[in-house]
Structure 1
Amino acid sequence: MRIVPSYVAVLSVLASPAFAHPALGTGSSFDAGLVHPFSGADHLVAITLVGTWSALMGGPARALWPLTFLIAMLGGFLAASAGLQMGFVEAAISLSVVALGAFVAFEFRMPVMLGAAAVGLFAFFHGHAHGTETAAVLVPYVIGFTTATGALLLVGMVAGHCGRSAAMKGLLRAAGVCAGLVGLLLLGGVA
């Protein structure tokens, strides 16, 4: 089970330190959607941390928060595709990385519905970033990025489940701190 945190670390290193948001109109295929969440630290880290945090909390959060993330992400995508303009999407995404890193690092507990609302808000901004990259709602692209997001959520959930042991808990806390620092760098425009 030690392979999961190693996998997350490798994915984080391989991700481009820049935002995962290419120029408008560059994503239209299943492949483009599938690759998108892996193309930048902001999406890769935040999505994985949602899965990790939900597994650490256990109970209904384990299933509700990842499902909420997927649904709200699709809502953000549709809103952006329909023309909703938002000027602070990148900052909100960076703040989501900081917050989720802190939530994992400190095993922050909150009521399940409040956690779902936080995860949903974060996901909406991530989805909005996806939606601004396509000229229209393109089903293959949506299926691609939803599939990749689901896979990253699952990796995070497995890592969080494995993180219940004392040794793994320390690794997850360190990963949460590192993720929060990455979020701060993204927010400051350094990365």
Structure 2
Amino acid sequence: MRIALSHRHTAALLFIAASAIGTSASAHTGAESHIHNSFLSGFAHPLFGLDHLAAMVAVGLWSALAARSAGRDLLWGPVGFAAMLLVGAVLGLEGVALPAVEPMIAASLLVTGLLVVSRLRVPGLAAALGVGAFAVFHGVAHGYELAGSDSAWLTLAGMLTATVLLHSAGLAAGWALRHRHVWLARAAGAGVAAFGGALLAQMA
């Protein structure tokens, strides 16, 4: 049977394809840290760090797939993630040491990927707190890299802007696919979960 995809669905696939890339490359795990010192470099960092990109897009996908309707239901997860990412970044800048940062980043991929696959619905505040807990570790990793930089806040502003855009991409893709071709979004979620599982296995 031939499946016809509209331009909207094709665009959605382009957004979620990046989140399903299951390679061993990662912005932090097993990679050398870099000091960023501009808005543009901060903006680019989540786009080229597959662990961050996959997690942020997956949060948007899950929020769209699990939402009962358009509106506030869509925003709990993305807003919670972005807010706690900033909190974590501040902790990292201040030198606050958290345990298991890299394993928690990898675990965030596994969990958010499974949330996309299952389309699990939870109360809005629980969604924000759940993904927000993982976002703290993503933020701390950024903060550690930026500690001592004269342009740390400018760089963080770029990272936060990219985070919002990646969440929006996931939301748009998930909303476009939630009624028809939802299996494509779930396949992307499975790819993200597999990516996280592979990273955790490497750390074991």
Alignment TM-score, normalising by the size of structure 2: 0.85
Higher Cα Rg, which structure: 2
Distance 2:113 2:147 in 1: 32
Which residues in structure 2 correspond to 1:98-137 (within 5 Å)?
98-136=110-148
Corresponding position of 1:177: 190
Which residues in structure 2 correspond to 1:88-103 (within 5 Å)?
88-103=100-115
Question: Shift of residue 11 of structure 1?
Answer: 6.4
Distance 1:68 1:117 in 2: 6
Question: Shift of residue 155 of structure 1?
Answer: 0.2
Deviates more, 1:65-74 or 1:21-30: 21-30
SS at match of 2:37: coil
Selected match of 2:13 from 5, 23, 38: 5
Question: Shift of residue 47 of structure 1?
Answer: 0.4
Q: Does 1:19 align with 2:26?
A: yes
Which residues in structure 2 correspond to 1:142-157 (within 5 Å)?
142-157=156-171
> Deviation per CA, 1:155-185, whole angstroms, max 9, x where unpaired?
0000111122232x11011111111001101
Contact 1:45/1:179 (<8 A) preserved:
yes
Return 5+ residue gaps in structure 1 as ranges.
none
Contact 2:19/2:191 (<8 A) preserved:
no
Contact 1:24/1:132 (<8 A) preserved:
no
> Deviation per CA, 1:3-60, whole angstroms, max 9, x where unpaired?
12223314655x9742213645611211221111122221110000111111122253
Q: How many residues align?
A: 188
Distance 1:7 1:80 in 2: 29
Question: Shift of residue 74 of structure 1?
Answer: 0.2
Root-mean-square deviation over aligned CA pairs: 2.0
Selected match of 1:81 from 73, 93, 111: 93
Deviates more, 1:128-137 or 1:112-121: 128-137
Selected match of 2:81 from 46, 63, 69: 69
SS at match of 2:145: coil
Corresponding position of 1:165: 179
Distance 2:74 2:19 in 1: 22
Contact 1:48/1:156 (<8 A) preserved:
yes
Corresponding position of 2:41: 32
Identity of aligned residues (%): 34
Question: Shift of residue 115 of structure 1?
Answer: 1.2
Corresponding position of 1:53: 62
Distance 1:103 1:23 in 2: 30
Question: Shift of residue 61 of structure 1?
Answer: 3.0
Counterparts in 2 of 1:72 and 1:100: CA distance versus 1, 3 Å:
same
Contact 2:37/2:155 (<8 A) preserved:
yes
Corresponding position of 2:153: 139
**Which AA in structure 2 matches 1:159?**
A
Deviates more, 1:100-109 or 1:53-62: 53-62
Contact 2:23/2:195 (<8 A) preserved:
no
